[in-house]
Amino acid sequence: MKIDLTQTHDVIGAFQSIDWTDIKAKYHDPATLYAFSVLNGTKLAGYNIKLASLRHLMDLKRQGNSNFPYHYDVEEVENLLKFASICPNVDTGEPTQLMEWQKFTFALMFGWRDTDGNKRFTRVIDSVSRGQGKTYQMAILICYSFIMESIGLSNQDYLVASINFKQTMKLFGYVSSMMRTIIQIEPFKSYAKEVELHIQSDQVIMKKNNNVLRAISLEAGQYDSYHFRTAIFDEIGEVKSRKTVSKIISGQVKVPNHQFIQISTSYPDPTVPFHEDQRMVIQAMEQDWKRDADSYLGLIWSQDSLDETYKPETWVKSNPLLDLPDQCDELMKGLKDKRDSDLLTGNIADFQTKNLNLWLKQSTDSYLNLKDVEDAIDDDFKIDGREVFIGFDYSMFSDNTALSFVYPYDDGKFHIEQHSFIPWQRAGSIEAKEKQDGIAYRQYPEYCTITAHPQGIINPEQIYRWLLDYVEQHQLEVLFFGYDRFGSYQVKNITESLNVNTSWNIMDIQQRTSALANPTKFLQELFITHKVTTPNDPVMQKALLNATIKSDKIGIQVDKDKATLKIDVVDAIIDALFQGMYYFDENADMNQKATEVDRMTEQQVLDWFKNSKSGLLGGDTTDN
């Protein structure tokens, strides 16, 4: 059955359209019961958990299909939950009974298996608000994996990690304390003695078989030589680049039954890889029939909108511990106090990010809203043969060079694409440039090109040739080419070559508020009113979200908080909209008959001249 929720987002409607009689009769495990309670409405949950619940039930139905090589093993779930029942909460010294949502998490992580009996989900994205006991959960998982899943194996590596040494050792301290208690309980006590298990300051080692659980922070970054069977990374939402984390993933490729668990609340910067991964897995769940992310598990407890900041009755979506009767009142009071305090101090974004698990834009001066940027994504737009407005922002020093393409369509809508050229001379290497900018440019050749210059500076000839080839390849009709000549003398060389070799309307746009205020505001309104579409282009999205507002008595311009933040794409789009914004305005100069000839190419002028309707070649005239 093909269910696509990318437009309707109606998870409940999709659930209600399917007969679940067979699944209800066969499965009574905690995860399946929780999924039904969420989708039946007896358990309040956010959109993302509804998606995860529907996916679980859909997967149960498709078991046995030749194109679905996975099965749900209830026995594996029971084994993990039995182990969890004896794991002590470090704060109390006694085991804490798991809640339904926690059992749901464990069951999906460990219950789904491939044809070899290995865990299906090799990547897990687990996100919940602050203070919801995620450290306790992850300690249980790594202890189970290290003690139970390693039986009969040797030379296995396991990892707990976080952003810095302090955070990593906090997590490891929790794990080691839990393990000390576990190995005092039979049969684990005898097993620990048999394998010579020793808990050390920064690792736990089984000396007899050389299985090692290591604590290594992101700061140390020494993941290259390890092949982790299970790796848990806490607070990964603060990690700006995929480079170091990719070493963990690449090291796991040949390890059977491996799993990489990424845990975090939301963070102020929505352009980080963890948020990109969340968006990817959400879309995969919405388009479940495509089977694009069968090895990814997304469990994201979050609010559905900022409006819910003022609806405490909905906060259980991101704070599932509110379903715990003996903690509900105290937790709710603490959350309300935090919200009210942040409102008074003008810091409500911190509450929304950390306590409601919502991704925001970090600055109150943000040019665009994250949700508006995400809502604009449309990868199906066809550009071939269309009219286009082009903007050009040439780089200075370490900045990128950007070309923007604005395509008017329908009645008052615009589709925007871009292509950037990436210099690395200032950074020293393309690797350093990617780390500095927080984006893996080499992974996105459709949206950017690394400069071909051997010294890593921008190559104007490369840009010029790329642009002409692109316009010819897609048979674009260029209505306007706007640029900022302040960038470099190289801009003059490029635009003069375009003047000689094309018939485009080319204009130098003054980079002053008086010139840029209108197109800047126009672009902002396009996103707010949802009259713009863009591809799922991370280079563009990062630039749009980096942009802030700078205002004066005349109007507004875009700016950025730090020199290393890139907004070149936004500048290029605004240059294109300097004329593009008037495309649908009948009274604009560009749409006046009196100036029509000025905008024609030489061939268009010749065709018009030869056309008898022009009145220029004689013929009969009629007086009225």
pLDDT of residue 440: 83
pLDDT of residue 621: 45
What is the average pLDDT score of the chain? 89
Question: pLDDT category, 610, cuts 50, 70, 90?
Answer: low
Average pLDDT score over residue span 486-505? 86
- CA-to-CA dists, residue 399 to 395, 441, 482, 524, angstroms: 5, 13, 19, 23
pLDDT of residue 488: 65
pLDDT tens digits, 351-366: 999 999 999 864 556 7
pLDDT tens digits, 49-98: 999 999 999 999 999 998 999 999 999 999 999 999 999 988 788 888 99
Has residue 616 got a pLDDT over 80?
A: no
Question: pLDDT category, 515, cuts 50, 70, 90?
Answer: confident
More confidently predicted of 194 and 292: 194
How many CB atoms lie under 10 A from the CB of residue 614?
12
Of residues 299, 337, 334, 333, the one with CA closest to residue 318: 299
Domain with CATH 3.30.420.240 in the chain: 370-584
Which CATH number fits the domain 370-584, given the four candidates 3.40.50.920, 3.30.420.240, 3.20.20.70, 3.30.565.10?
3.30.420.240
Domain with CATH 3.40.50.300 in the chain: 11-300
As a whole number of angstroms, the distance between CA 153 and CA 228 comes to: 13
pLDDT tens digits, 394-436: 986 678 999 999 999 998 999 999 999 999 998 889 988 887 7
Strand-pair category, 448-450 with 477-483: unpaired
Has residue 322 got a pLDDT over 90?
A: yes
Q: 541-563 burial, b if ≥16 CB within 10 A, otherwise e?
A: bbbbbbbbbeeeeeebbbbbeee
Tokens of 233: 């990374």
Contact 125, 297 (CB under 8 A): yes
Q: Residue 83: phi, psi to the nearest 5?
A: -65, -45
pLDDT of residue 220: 85
Question: pLDDT category, 3, cuts 50, 70, 90?
Answer: confident
Average pLDDT score over residue span 133-156? 94
Question: pLDDT category, 599, cuts 50, 70, 90?
Answer: very low
As a whole number of angstroms, the distance between CA 571 and CA 335 comes to: 40
- For 79-112, the DSSP string reads HHHHHHTTPBPTTTSSB-PPPHHHHHHHHHHHHE
pLDDT of residue 307: 92
Has residue 177 got a pLDDT over 90?
A: yes
Count of residues for the chain?
624
Q: Residue 344: phi, psi to the nearest 5?
A: -65, -35
Question: pLDDT category, 7, cuts 50, 70, 90?
Answer: confident
Of residues 464, 445, 268, 474, the one with CA closest to residue 384: 474
Strand-pair category, 203-206 with 197-199: antiparallel
11-300 belongs to CATH 3.40.50.150: no
Percent share of the chain, pLDDT over 90: 70
Average pLDDT score over residue span 513-526? 91
pLDDT of residue 448: 96
